[in-house]
Amino acid sequence: MGPDVSPQVMRMTLSTLNWRRREMVRWLVTCATEVGLRALVSILQGWYTLFTPTEATSIVAATVMSHNTILRLSLDYPQREELASCARTLALQCAMKDPQNCALSALTLCEKDHIAFETAYQIVIDAASTGMTYSQLFTIARYMEHRGYPLRAFKLASLAMTHLNLAYNQDTHPAINDVLWACALSHSLGKNELAAIIPLVVKSVHCATVLSDILRRCTMTAPGLAGIPGRRNSGKLMSTDKAPLRQLLDATISAYINTTHSRLTHISPRHYGEFIEFLSKARETFLLAQDGHIQFAQFIDNLKQIYKGKKKLMMLVRERFG
């Protein structure tokens, strides 16, 4: 199959995407590289007739922009710039067409050009409310932090949180690490960012153990340790009696209460020990509130009243908590 036949086959199989296409895409880029700069520019500019957006960004543009390709073609600076400009244009077009699969590749391809990078970032922001999942947004948010843009990472993490719903019993959910990272990022940026993300966390996360983990981390160190230029950091630890941590504390206590009742609906004796440990963790959170010991005592009294039929379990509750 010669180079002149190859584009025709690419067009014919564009809608079928059979398993050999990936090989064919790579082969076509290799052929174009052999022919030279003009052939590469041609496939970059006419990518939409030959490739899917994902193929165009992750294989075609990435290969064309690789160090090996530049060396192989012995390009001078203006030629390298022409090729890079075509690759960035392709990347932005693909990100517009398929932000879910191409946004991160587009950002990576546009890193060295400020305007193109800004455009790619704006495409992500515009697509965040409709066309992106929380997982994709968290991935791009982490990339932004890695690139040295913590405030943009925070914005994307906040958008990701609005897509997330973590139920009371999802304490092994794959997004938990992302939620903890987003809260740590917000805390490191300062009180304002933490105050902005906590209502999103409270709305999206209903799992008591995750909420208590976030709360514990937020009370261990003072906010604002990222040292954003132009910002002053008081260096003070935050109180759980005041905003924004008060809202998080209240939500965590509510989550423990709701989860306790949910667990007690269908509990078997082999889970009694685990349940008592769960109540011990709940007590740690209750005690962060000013009247926490009173609230917890009332909570235990309520349990003993409502579930008095579960004699063995309530005996264990009395032994541990009085």
Whether residue 149 is predicted with pLDDT greater than 60 in this model: the reply is: yes
pTM of the entire structure? 0.89
pLDDT band at 66 (very low <50, low <70, confident <90, very high): very high
Average pLDDT of the residues of the chain: 92
- How much of the chain exceeds pLDDT 70, in percent? 93
Whether residue 234 is predicted with pLDDT greater than 70 in this model: the reply is: no
Residue 222: the pLDDT is 84
* Residues 6 or more apart in contact with residue 68 via CB below 8 angstroms: none
What separation, in Å, do the N-terminal and C-terminal C-alpha atoms of the chain show?
A: 82
pLDDT band at 2 (very low <50, low <70, confident <90, very high): very low
SS3 category, 86? helix
Residue 204: the pLDDT is 97
pLDDT band at 19 (very low <50, low <70, confident <90, very high): low
The two three-digit tokens of residue 302, written as one number: 């309520």
SS3 category, 29? helix
User: CB of 293 within 8 A of CB of 286?
Assistant: yes
Whether residue 235 is predicted with pLDDT greater than 80 in this model: the reply is: no
Closest CA to 92 of 138, 139, 53: 53
Residue 3: the pLDDT is 47
Calculate mean pLDDT across residues 82-103. 97
Of 117-121, 127-131, 239-243, minimum mean pLDDT range:
239-243
If phi over 0 gives left and psi between -120 and 50 gives alpha, with beta otherwise, what is residue 17?
Answer: left
